[in-house]
């Protein structure tokens, strides 16, 4: 069975602080894909990044960076120099490697509040 855990329910930071969102995905699958989505107050989910389980290279894209460690099943997402517009609920969403459909297993989400 697969299990996705976002242990941080809510995080509050002051603008310009860095913030890291944690996600742990426990699975016996050797191949899987990990997505991060952002849900602003308007409701629609916005795709941020996708990582493959067979690629542990960490990357940076603008203010976003992600750290994937397969040995600990952790897939953490960092926002540097946070802005008020980053306030949203962030979801980690794994997808099984053998999936032939869009069945994504969203975590419970982390609500990020960035204060001015």
Partner 1 sequence: DAGVTQSPTHLIKTRGQQVTLRCSPISGHKSVSWYQQVLGQGPQFIFQYYEKEERGRGNFPDRFSARQFPNYSSELNVNALLLGDSALYLCASSLYVGLAGASNTGELFFGEGSRLTVL
Binding site for partner 1 (CB under 8 A): 33, 35, 42-47, 50, 91, 93, 95, 99-109
Gap between the Cα atoms of 66 and 68, Å rounded? 6
**At closest approach, how far in Å is the CB of 17 from partner 1?**
25
The closest alpha carbon to 69, from 56, 59, 78, 81, belongs to 56
C-alpha span between 70 and 38 (Å, rounded) = 23
User: In angstroms, rounded to a whole number, what is the distance separating the alpha carbons of residues 95 and 98?
Assistant: 9
CB of 82 to partner 1, least distance (A): 22
Smaller CB distance to partner 1: residue 15 or 29?
A: 29
Give the start-end residues of each E strand in 15-107.
19-21, 24-26, 32-39, 46-52, 59-61, 64-69, 74-79, 88-96
Q: How far is the CB of 44 from partner 1 (least distance, A)?
A: 5
Output 35 or 77, the one with its CB closest to partner 1: 35
Report the nearest approach of partner 1 to the CB of residue 38 (Å). Answer: 11
Measured from the CB atom, the residue of 11 and 15 that comes closer to partner 1 is 11
CA distance 89 to 87: 7
Instruction: Choose between 14 and 108: whose C-beta lies nearer to partner 1.
Output: 108
């Amino acid at each position: 069975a697969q299990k996705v855990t976002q242990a941080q329910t809510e995080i509050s930071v002051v603008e310009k602080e860095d913030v890291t969102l944690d996600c742990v995905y426990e699975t016996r699958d050797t191949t899987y894909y990990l997505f991060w989505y952002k849900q602003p107050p308007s409701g629609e989910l916005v795709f941020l990044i996708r990582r493959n389980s067979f690629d542990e290279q960490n990357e940076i894209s603008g203010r976003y960076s992600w750290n994937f460690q397969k040995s600990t099943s952790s897939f953490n997402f960092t926002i540097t120099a946070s802005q008020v517009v980053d306030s949203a609920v962030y979801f980690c969403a794994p997808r099984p490697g053998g999936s032939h459909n869009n069945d994504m297993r969203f975590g419970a989400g982390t609500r990020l509040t960035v204060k001015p």
